[in-house]
């Protein structure tokens, strides 16, 4: 079975999820998206009753309904106020939101040709429909009227912020442009939407196309048994039984780079990864060239010097220069640390008589060797205590101790894939708070990475019901192999805590408005809840509650915990350099204004940026541009990848308060819950942070956390992005 066949098979298997009537003209089928509710527990989408044929009719009807609702707002003869304009807009488009949240979720977790076809038809329709709303002069006139009178309308703080945010969103979307420029901007936005879709498709296809087939068992020396078993299972799935197959998915790629004694094998994997989607049929280079040109056009139309200034103007950083200044405070000590790390690796390689000079494809391997040598810490030994079920227990225990919430599995609830687990989240008074879903293992139909999103967004209607959210976490963690359960690496453990932190942001939201609910905050702020919760992952007090050996049931021993603590800043020069380097590369892309007839070569551009930064030759950007989905797969983190480090300034400073008061201190946890998690985007993010912490943050806590400056403090746990 080739990779395309595997992706198709995965999509079909997942669809225990989707009705099998795709294209069959099923009689008397009621489109679930067009019903008042789904009729399921907590209104979870009934995946087994949804057919591919349901999406486009629901999307088109949703667009039409929203247009009618917007027209009603525009034509309302009453003087514009918060309720009849801003709140009415908040309440519009619920059918469209309903279907698009489900479609987006499944398209990224169980992509298949049917979804590609829907995406190709839906994307230009939804993009243009959104532009038409944001450029509607009558609607903007009403919004501006409310905005201009906001001081005299007696608005609550969250209402005032919603008015200001709505006005700014219209202006940033082109509401002040001439009709001709509005039309030009809509054309650019449509072009970008298509390019983002193409970038993602190329990346998924290129990822699934790559494989390394090993037919000599001797080449597997050094690899953990779990990785070997996983590679054997992958080979069997591909009709290559008796061999071993390694892919670019992190649970396959990273153990090979970290443990394989065969240097050529490591180099083959490393080069396969850094050249992903960089040539051939799925080359994203030409797509990036077009994206950069389109973004420059968009920035110019909206009156900004470049795209980076456009993207940072509306968030906490305000300018790309401010973001770069923060990054350079981290970059300089990070690359100095890399020099020390490489020297340690080279010394170890020389002692072993390896006869090599440390190269980029050696970094993971020799970093692990140095860790074993310095700290007597073997990550394969550590993984035995971190089965996926144990770590899930860990995140739930953390949430219970901090915020009083509990998770009750719903084994009979609808799910979009057999591996998905569904939970009823209940507050301290045992009231329903949210639905939480987990989907943790890779498959060919799922894009790489880990993320959190929602299938239903919370809001509080003053004149009606309270809608609670449906939140999901997705990962690509190490699968079970043979009789061995899924044993997670430390990076995967911290990633699970990270995405669960995003989940808590959604689940605990008490914001009244959908636009301010949960993770609907400035990009600079959105990573604070995710990253601060990473700190609990390796805290001894919590480890005793969840880290048990998968064979013996033994709790993780104190001496192993001590080794984890001692080694917690190991290799942080490399980790910080590749992360900060990617963030700086992203900002440089955003500041590029190519001439219309100029072709931008991604490889050449990256090389120039690396040279300007004096980037260590042994370290690559965390993501090369052709697979940097954060910034080229959508607008989401474009000129905003720095926010992971910006938020780390906040999370490390914030966690120092927990370390001072006690990591489960009720008063500190209650303050974080109230001011950050429950508030969402209803308050200014820096005001919310200062209210919680008591002062403005500085970069010093981050540098201490990563061990990049000398300190006596021991708050130093870090996860990856």
**Domain closes at, from 257, 275, 293:** 275
- Nearest-CA neighbor of 210 among 161, 145, 278? 278
464: CB partners within 8 A, 6+ apart: none
Q: Domain holding 163: CATH number? A: 1.10.1370.40
pLDDT reading at 25 higher than 80: no
What was the pLDDT predicted at 658? 97
DSSP 718: -
Residue 539 lies in a domain: no
- How far is Cα 322 from Cα 522, in angstroms, rounded to an integer? 16
Cβ-contact 473, 523 below 8 angstroms: no
What was the pLDDT predicted at 317? 86
Q: If pLDDT is split at 50, 70 and 90, which confidence band does 246 have?
A: very high
SS3 81: coil
- DSSP per position, 395-430: HHHHHHHHH--EEEE-TTS--SSTT-EEEEEE-TTS
Instruction: Mark whether 271 and 139 lie in a shared domain.
Output: no
Instruction: Mark whether 125 and 224 lie in a shared domain.
Output: no
Q: If pLDDT is split at 50, 70 and 90, which confidence band does 306 have?
A: very high
Cβ-contact 372, 570 below 8 angstroms: no
Residue 69 lies in a domain: yes
Q: Known catalytic residue: 494?
A: no
What was the pLDDT predicted at 718? 30
What was the pLDDT predicted at 193? 93
pLDDT reading at 468 higher than 60: yes
pLDDT reading at 120 higher than 50: yes
pLDDT reading at 594 higher than 60: yes
Q: Identify which has the larger pLDDT, 97 or 636.
A: 97
Helix (H) or strand (E) holding 73: helix 55-74
pLDDT reading at 714 higher than 80: no
Per-residue pLDDT, averaged over 417-435, amounts to 97
Structure tokens at 387: 């089965």
Instruction: Mark whether 251 and 147 lie in a shared domain.
Output: no
Instruction: Mark whether 164 and 216 lie in a shared domain.
Output: no
What was the pLDDT predicted at 481? 82
Q: List the single range of 1-10, 35-44, 422-431, 671-680 with lowest mean pLDDT.
A: 1-10
Structure tokens at 649: 């300034």
Q: What is the pLDDT of residues 511-539, one digit of tens each?
A: 999 999 999 998 889 999 999 999 999 99
β-pair partners for 548: 555
**Domain closes at, from 153, 176, 199:** 176
Give residue 230's domain range: 210-275
- How far is Cα 258 from Cα 131, in angstroms, rounded to an integer? 47
- How far is Cα 393 from Cα 390, in angstroms, rounded to an integer? 5
Q: If pLDDT is split at 50, 70 and 90, which confidence band does 21 have?
A: very low
Residue 721 lies in a domain: no
Number of domains making up the chain: 2
CB atoms within 10 A of CB 279: 13
pLDDT reading at 464 higher than 80: no
What was the pLDDT predicted at 152? 97
| % of the chain beyond a pLDDT of 70 | 94
Residue 261 lies in a domain: yes
Cβ-contact 102, 455 below 8 angstroms: yes
Spot the catalytic one: 114, 454, 499, 606.
Answer: 499
pLDDT reading at 7 higher than 70: no
What was the pLDDT predicted at 712? 37
What was the pLDDT predicted at 709? 81
| Global pTM exceeds 0.85 | yes
Cβ-contact 455, 354 below 8 angstroms: no
Q: Identify which has the larger pLDDT, 47 or 714.
A: 47
| Phi, psi dihedrals of residue 434, rounded to the nearest 5° | -170, 170
3-state helix, strand, coil in the chain (%, to 5): 60, 5, 35
Q: What is the pLDDT of residues 145-200, one digit of tens each?
A: 999 999 999 999 999 999 999 999 999 999 999 999 999 999 999 999 999 999 99
What was the pLDDT predicted at 606? 96
- How far is Cα 425 from Cα 408, in angstroms, rounded to an integer? 6
Q: List the single range of 189-193, 272-276, 459-463, 697-701 with lowest mean pLDDT.
A: 459-463
- Strands 432-439 and 470-474, sheet pairing: parallel
What was the pLDDT predicted at 710? 60
Instruction: Mark whether 28 and 169 lie in a shared domain.
Output: yes
- How far is Cα 220 from Cα 226, in angstroms, rounded to an integer? 12
Instruction: Mark whether 143 and 230 lie in a shared domain.
Output: no
- How far is Cα 491 from Cα 495, in angstroms, rounded to an integer? 6
Q: List the single range of 117-121, 375-379, 549-553 with lowest mean pLDDT.
A: 375-379
**Domain closes at, from 176, 200, 231:** 176
pLDDT reading at 483 higher than 90: no
Q: Give the C-alpha distances (Å, rounded to integers) separating 469 from 43, 69, 531.
A: 10, 24, 21
Instruction: Mark whether 73 and 149 lie in a shared domain.
Output: yes
What was the pLDDT predicted at 226? 87
- How far is Cα 514 from Cα 530, in angstroms, rounded to an integer? 20
What was the pLDDT predicted at 28? 63
- How far is Cα 206 from Cα 277, in angstroms, rounded to an integer? 6
Per-residue pLDDT, averaged over 204-215, amounts to 95
| Phi, psi dihedrals of residue 279, rounded to the nearest 5° | -160, 170
Average pLDDT, the chain: 92
Instruction: Mark whether 99 and 231 lie in a shared domain.
Output: no
| % of the chain beyond a pLDDT of 90 | 88
The CA-based angle 260-264-265, given to 5 degrees, is: 45
Instruction: Mark whether 20 and 158 lie in a shared domain.
Output: yes
Helices (H), 622-706: 629-632, 643-661, 666-672, 685-693, 700-705
DSSP 91: H
Instruction: Mark whether 54 and 171 lie in a shared domain.
Output: yes
Residue 693 lies in a domain: no
Residue 144 lies in a domain: yes
Instruction: Mark whether 17 and 159 lie in a shared domain.
Output: yes
Instruction: Mark whether 164 and 233 lie in a shared domain.
Output: no
What was the pLDDT predicted at 378? 85
Residue 229 lies in a domain: yes
CB atoms within 10 A of CB 119: 18
Residue 493 lies in a domain: no
């Amino acid at each position: 079975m080739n990779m395309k066949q595997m992706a198709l098979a995965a999509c079909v298997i997942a669809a225990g999820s989707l009705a099998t009537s795709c294209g069959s003209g099923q009689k008397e089928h009621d489109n679930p998206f067009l019903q008042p509710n789904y009729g399921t527990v907590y209104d979870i989408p009934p995946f087994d009753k949804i057919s591919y044929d349901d999406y486009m009719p629901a999307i088109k009807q949703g667009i039409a309904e929203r247009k009618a609702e917007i027209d009603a707002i525009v034509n309302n003869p009453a003087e514009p106020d918060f309720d009849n304009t801003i709140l009415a807009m908040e309440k519009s488009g619920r059918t469209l939101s309903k279907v698009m949240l489900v479609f987006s979720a499944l398209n990224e977790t169980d992509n298949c040709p049917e979804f590609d076809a829907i995406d190709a038809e839906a994307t230009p329709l939804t993009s243009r429909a959104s532009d038409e709303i944001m450029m509607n002069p009558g609607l903007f006139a009403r919004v501006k009227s409310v905005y201009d009178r906001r001081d005299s309308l007696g608005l609550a703080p969250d209402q005032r912020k919603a008015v200001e945010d709505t006005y700014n969103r219209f202006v940033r979307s082109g509401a002040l442009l001439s009709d001709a420029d509005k039309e030009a901007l809509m054309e650019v936005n449509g072009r970008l939407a298509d390019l983002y879709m193409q970038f993602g498709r190329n990346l998924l296809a290129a990822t699934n196309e790559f494989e390394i087939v090993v037919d000599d068992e001797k080449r597997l020396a050094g690899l953990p048994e779990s990785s070997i078993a996983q590679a054997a299972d992958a080979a069997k799935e591909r009709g290559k039984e008796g061999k071993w197959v390694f892919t670019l998915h992190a649970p396959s790629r990273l153990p090979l780079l970290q443990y394989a004694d065969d240097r050529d094998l490591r180099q083959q994997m490393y080069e396969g990864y850094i050249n992903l989607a960089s040539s051939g049929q799925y080359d994203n280079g030409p797509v990036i060239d077009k994206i950069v040109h389109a973004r420059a056009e968009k920035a110019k139309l909206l009156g900004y010097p470049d795209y980076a200034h456009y993207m940072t103007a509306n968030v906490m950083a305000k300018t790309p220069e401010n973001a770069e200044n923060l990054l350079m405070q981290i970059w300089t000590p990070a690359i100095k640390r890399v020099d020390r790390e490489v020297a340690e690796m080279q010394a170890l390689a020389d002692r072993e008589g390896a006869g090599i000079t440390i190269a980029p494809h050696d970094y993971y391997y020799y970093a692990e060797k140095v860790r074993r040598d310095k700290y007597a810490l073997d990550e394969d030994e550590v993984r035995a205590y971190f089965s996926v079920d144990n770590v899930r227990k860990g995140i739930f225990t953390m949430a219970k101790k901090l915020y009083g919430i509990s998770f009750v599995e719903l084994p009979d609830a609808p799910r979009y894939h057999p591996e998905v687990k569904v939970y009823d989240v209940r507050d301290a008074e045992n009231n329903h708070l949210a639905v939480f879903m987990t989907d943790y293992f890779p498959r060919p139909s799922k894009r790489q990475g880990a993320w959190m999103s929602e299938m239903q967004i919370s809001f509080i209607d003053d004149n009606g019901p309270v809608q609670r959210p449906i939140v999901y976490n997705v990962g690509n963690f190490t699968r079970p192999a043979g009789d061995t359960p899924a044993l997670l690496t430390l990076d995967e453990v911290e990633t699970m805590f990270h995405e669960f932190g995003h989940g808590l942001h959604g689940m605990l939201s008490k914001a009244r408005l959908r636009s301010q609910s949960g993770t609907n905050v400035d990009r600079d702020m959105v990573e604070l809840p995710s990253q601060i919760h990473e700190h609990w992952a390796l805290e001894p007090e919590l480890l005793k509650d969840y880290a048990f050996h998968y064979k013996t049931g033994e709790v993780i021993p104190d001496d192993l915990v001590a080794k984890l603590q001692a080694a917690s800043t190991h290799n942080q020069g490399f980790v910080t350099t590749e992360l900060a380097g990617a963030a700086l590369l992203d900002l440089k892309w955003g500041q590029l204004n190519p001439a219309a007839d100029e072709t931008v070569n991604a490889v050449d551009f990256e090389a120039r940026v690396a040279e300007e930064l004096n980037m260590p030759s042994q370290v690559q950007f965390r993501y090369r541009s052709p697979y940097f989905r954060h910034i080229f797969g959508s607008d989401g983190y474009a000129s905003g990848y720095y926010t992971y480090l910006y938020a780390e300034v906040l999370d490390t400073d914030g966690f120092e308060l927990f370390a001072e008061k006690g990591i489960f201190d009720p008063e500190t946890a209650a303050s974080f819950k109230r001011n950050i998690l429950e508030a969402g985007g209803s308050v200014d993010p820096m005001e919310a942070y200062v209210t919680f912490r008591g002062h403005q943050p500085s970069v010093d806590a981050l540098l201490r956390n990563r061990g990049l400056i000398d300190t006596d403090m021991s708050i130093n746990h870090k996860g990856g992005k």
